[in-house]
Amino acid sequence: MRSQLQAIWAEIGISGARLETRQNTVVKGLESLAENMIAEEMSRKKMITENVRSLEADVQKILGELGQAAVVDDCKLVKLLI
């Protein structure tokens, strides 16, 4: 991708300070895109973690109503003990 941009800029005569400005703009744009993607993934991770905790609590409640015990391991997966 970078070589394609450089070829286009060379073809249309962009060089010197203008070339450096364009390159910096591309880098900043990609950094911003990456930061946004990371923030979205962190948000999804938080939502999934909260959903798992909520479901674990629901399972614990149901098991209690059924008179069974449950153990939650390190992976936060619920294992039933009968």
Residue 82 is predicted with a pLDDT of: 42
Mean pLDDT to the nearest integer, 47-75: 79
- Average pLDDT over the chain, rounded to an integer: 85
DSSP 75: T
What's the rounded Cα separation, in Å, for the pair 51 and 56? 8
Q: Which of 21, 24, 26 lies closest to 4 in space, CA to CA?
A: 26
Cβ neighbours around 8 below 10 Å, total: 11
Residue 38 is predicted with a pLDDT of: 98
In this predicted structure, the answer to whether residue 77 has a pLDDT above a threshold of 90 is no
**pLDDT by residue (tens digit) across 15-53?**
999 999 999 999 999 999 999 999 999 999 999 999 999
